[in-house]
Structure formats: C-alpha cells, structure tokens
Amino acid sequence: MGKYSIKILSLCFISVACFTGCKNSLSSKNTSRATGWQINSKEGGFQYNSNFKEQETPPGMVFVEGGTFVKGKVQDDVMHDWNNTPTQQHVQSFYMDETEVTNVMYLEYLDWLKSVFPPDDPSYKNIYVGALPDTLVWRNRLGYNEEMVDNYLRHPAYAEYPVVGVNWVQAAQFAEWRTDRVNEHILEREGFLARNTKYAVTQGDIDGTFSTETYLNRPEEAYGGNIDSLQGKAQRDSTNVFAKRTSGIILPDYRLPTETEWEYAAQAIVGTREYNNYRGRKKYPWEGEYTRSGRRKNIGDQLANFKQGKGDYGGIAGWSDDGADITAKVKTYPPNDFGLYDMAGNVAEWVADVYRPIVDDEANDFNYYRGNVYMKPAINQDGQLKIVSQSEIKYDTLSNGRIVARDLPGELAMVPVDEKDTYLRTNFSKSDNRDYRDGDEGSTRNFYERFDDGESEEDMYNAPKHKISTDSTGNMIMEYDKSNNRTTLINDEVRVYKGGSWRDRAYWLDPAQRRYLPQYMATDYIGFRCAMSRVGSKAKKRTKRARH
C-alpha cells in the first residue's frame, strides 16, 4: 500500500472518530455538555431527569399564558377611591383553577383534617375548628336566611357551589394543604410511595402525614419517620429511592393568585388583539359593553350572576332570570377566553396581595405583588432542619378571636430570614416587605408623630389596633381600640379581593375593580380560587407566527 493511501485511510479514521465523538456529545441527552461524563449512568455519577418534557397541568386548573396588559382601569371612578390607576404590567405564565373552590372541595379538606387530626384530641382541637367556614355570615338582622346557615356548606344540593364564609387565612391554608395532597398522589402514581398510602394516613394506619417540603428536604422524616415502610416500586433502583426537585414530578405550591395574575386572567385579552382591549378598555371578562349575551343562540341571557338592581338579585322568574338569587353552581355561565369560569359575578375572590391604594410600578412592573414575607427553615440543635412535632404546634389568634394553626405536625418549622441572609443584598433587606415603600420608615410622612394620647405612631397607615389575649384560666380578653385618632382601616393585615359577586351591581364586575377587607373576616359573598406558577417555558406549545 502506498504512502498516499495510508494518509487517506488515516484521515478517514480521524474524520469518522471526530464525527462520532461530536455526534455523541451533541445528540445524547445523557451525556454532559459540561464534562463529557455520562448522566444517569448505572455505574453511578450524576442523576438527573433528562426526559422531562414540561410541567403537567395540575388537577382542576387551566393554563394561562403570561404577557403584558394594562392593570387598573381608565374610566372615572364613581366611588372616588382612585386606587386603580392604570399601569402597564407583565405577568409570567401560570395555572389557575377553572372555577372557584367549591363546597365539596372544601369539605374534602375538612374531612382530611378531622380524620388525621381528630378534634376530640385536645392537642388537635383548634386545627379542625380553625379551618371551619363561618356559616353565620348568611344571617341578616332583617332577613330570613337560616336555611343557608344550616345547609349551604354541607348539603349535596350546594356541593358544586362556591364555598363562602372563608377568611383569607383559611383560604391560604387550604392552598397549602392542597399542595401536599396533590404531590402525595403524584408520588404514589410514579411509584415513589406504596399504593394507597394516602388512604392509610386518613384511616389512622400510619402515624404521621406527608409534607412536600419535609419530603424534599428531610425525606427520612416524612410520615413521622415511617417512610421506609411506605416505599413504592421505585425503591428497586437504589439511586432512586426518593423523588427530588430534579426529578421534575413535584409540582410547585398551590397558592392564592396575586392581584395582578387575577386581573390579567379575568381580562383574558388573549381572545382579542384589538387596540382598545390591549390598552385596557375591555370592560368585562367577555366582549362587549353589556351583561347580556348578544349571540343568536342565547341572546338576552345574563353572562354573570350579580345584583340587577335594588331588590333585584336575578330578575323576573322565567327565561329572563339569571338563574340564581344567591350564589350559582360553578360553570353555570360561559367561561372567558382562558377557559376560566365566573371571573365576574357569583362570588368575589380573595387574592394574595396586601392592600394599598397605589400600585408602585416605578419599583416593579414584572409579576407585581405586595405581601412578601420571606421565611426559611429553622435549624434544630443537631444542625438539621426542624420538623414541627405534635407538642410544638403553634396557633395564631386572629383579631376576631378565632384560633388557627400556624403549622401542622410533620411540616418544616419556618422562621423569618435574618441579617445573615440579607447582608449586602440589594434586592431585599428584611423578611417582612408588606409595607415596602409605602409604610416603612423611609416613606412614612409623619414618622413618630405624637398624638394626644401620647402614642408613638410609626406607620403611615394608622389603622385600629385591637388587642386580644388570654388570662391565666384560658379565657379570652378582647380590647377594642377606641382611639379617635385612627384615620384608616388600612394596615398589613388587610387583603385585596377582586371581582363582583351575587350581592354586587354590575359596576364591580370590571376586573380592574379592587376592594379590601381584614384577612380575618369572612362574608357570604367572598370565595377564592387557587393558582400555581409555571416552571420552564412560557408557552405550552408555540405556534408559528406568520412572516411578512
């Protein structure tokens, strides 16, 4: 063989080798592009879910693709609140319940609490009692509503009606409970937990409960430390005993939607690209300026459940009636362009935000939210993350005397972030940011102003400060703030609620309208729905845009 033939063969071998190596390094998703090492190798090394596609749609929710919109309204404010000045905002994609949380959904929560934390056990009594809706919200001094007091929450006739009588704190705790139950179900489905483990908990066969954060951070302590006996088929792979965040199957937290998310979802401008709608002129969650349908198929039908006028909660009985005098069964009225039902009417809804009259878009115009209180897991004496035990359950006494559990047994104990976490940071400097740029020392107009009663007032919003305590016998002592110097009801404990209700006139159906109520209060016209952040791509499936 000649020397030229040898050179040609050598070049061929080199080319094939380079091509093969490059192909493997670029095309194999189980080969690291950082080190060239194998990922998910049976021999060991780095384990990662390289087959992850996208976040699954959570139970009961629909996908809401994020984007820009005008938050607030542009019409005159007949209530003279002037608290919704239009601002341009951008929202990341998220998921939202297609309907409000219903009575049967909330009863499932109550049933779980009653089974796992029996109220006849003194150490658990306030867990269940603190979660009960206030059914007395239906009473009226000059109205007969006792049938709703007795039946609305539990009677099967109202099963698919939105739950009411739930305060903001209870709604937020329901969302936390729902996170754990859904992730527990997913772990069973994926083989990380034995089948029907969740039912064994409610039946008392397992002494302990599942908490998502406990499972992710200290999995050996899940189910009261009994996790080893509850492993599923995934245990056969010694590298895959517990699911991790890198597994990609654990869903983010259920939570109350932010005000910005709720308003964006209610407007649903995704269904139209008209200039006026994009700039914030869409009046209702549906198209048009009227509350009755203009479509030939159902022309004249009301598109929402609201108060028609004085003494008129549904219209004259018959075809022109809106079908409800109090709340209505969910999905009674058509959904908006996101597939969300009752974003106007039926019940108003709690959102996550602490109320302030202004939206500080100069500070932020991306995922705007007021109410951040940053927490971190507590560390015990052994240097490990602390788990709440039965003897360490802490309760909060709300301003109206209601007692609610702060944490449930088996959850991670949380504490506020401290100076170690905030030192030399520029994006946040303390744990509680509810009054940032609107109530803190740097922005207070009358800091340390002395009032006639000698009180030192440190807040811009000097709402009444009612006090509640217990004496040595456990009796509750309530001290009502009778000061004449209070000028507002706004403080860090009042929350925004959005949308009109069966008690409201059409004026409140505008998604931009906003009202507030102390977070411990409940009514017969406020319910809630949950949201969940989307992780990963903005859109589930991007369609090709036309090129011009």
For the residues 253-268, what does the mean pLDDT come to? Answer: 96
Q: Is residue 401 part of a domain?
A: no
Q: Which of 27-36, 142-151, 187-196 has the lowest mean pLDDT?
A: 27-36
7 pLDDT band (50/70/90 cuts)? low
312 phi and psi, to 5 degrees?
-135, 100
Domain residues for the domain of 338 are 64-191+242-370+491-531
18 pLDDT band (50/70/90 cuts)? very low
Domain count, the chain: 1
CATH number at residue 246: 3.90.1580.10
Q: Is residue 125 part of a domain?
A: yes
Q: List the one residue out of 70, 69, 53, 59 whose CA is nearest residue 96.
A: 59
Q: Please list, in sequence order, all residues whose beta carbon lies within 8 angstroms of the beta carbon of residue 1, skipping any fewer than 6 positions away.
A: none
Amino acid residing at 108: E
pLDDT at 459: 56
479 phi and psi, to 5 degrees?
-115, 110
pLDDT at 5: 54
Q: How far is CA 159 from CA 107, 150, 330, 347, 523, in A?
A: 9, 14, 10, 15, 18
- pLDDT single digits (tens) 148-193: 999 999 999 999 999 999 999 999 999 999 999 999 999 999 999 9
526 phi and psi, to 5 degrees?
-115, 125
- Residue 385 contacts residue 412 (beta carbons within 8 Å): yes
466 pLDDT band (50/70/90 cuts)? confident
199 phi and psi, to 5 degrees?
-75, -30
pLDDT at 458: 52
Q: Is residue 507 part of a domain?
A: yes
Q: Which of 213-217, 477-481, 515-519 has the lowest mean pLDDT?
A: 477-481
Q: Which of 59-68, 155-164, 298-307, 387-396 has the lowest mean pLDDT?
A: 298-307
Number of H helices, E strands in the chain: 11, 17
- Using a pLDDT cut of 90, give the percent of the chain over it: 55
- Residue 73 contacts residue 280 (beta carbons within 8 Å): yes
25 pLDDT band (50/70/90 cuts)? very low
Q: Is residue 226 part of a domain?
A: no
- pLDDT single digits (tens) 280-332: 456 777 766 666 665 656 655 777 888 888 998 887 787 667 788 999 999 99
Q: Which of 123-137, 172-186, 366-380, 528-542 has the lowest mean pLDDT?
A: 528-542
Token output for 353: 């935000």
Dist. CA 491–CA 398, nearest whole Å: 14
Dist. CA 189–CA 232, nearest whole Å: 9
Q: Is residue 184 part of a domain?
A: yes
385 phi and psi, to 5 degrees?
-65, 135
- Residue 514 contacts residue 83 (beta carbons within 8 Å): yes
Amino acid residing at 26: L
Indicate the pTM of the whole model: 0.88
Q: Which of 51-65, 163-177, 265-279 has the lowest mean pLDDT?
A: 265-279
pLDDT at 282: 66
Q: List the one residue out of 450, 510, 448 whose CA is nearest residue 485.
A: 450
Q: Is residue 299 part of a domain?
A: yes
- pLDDT single digits (tens) 191-231: 999 999 999 999 988 888 999 999 999 999 999 998 888 88
Q: Is residue 408 part of a domain?
A: no
Give start and end residues of each alpha helix (H) in 218-364. Answer: 222-225, 259-267, 275-278
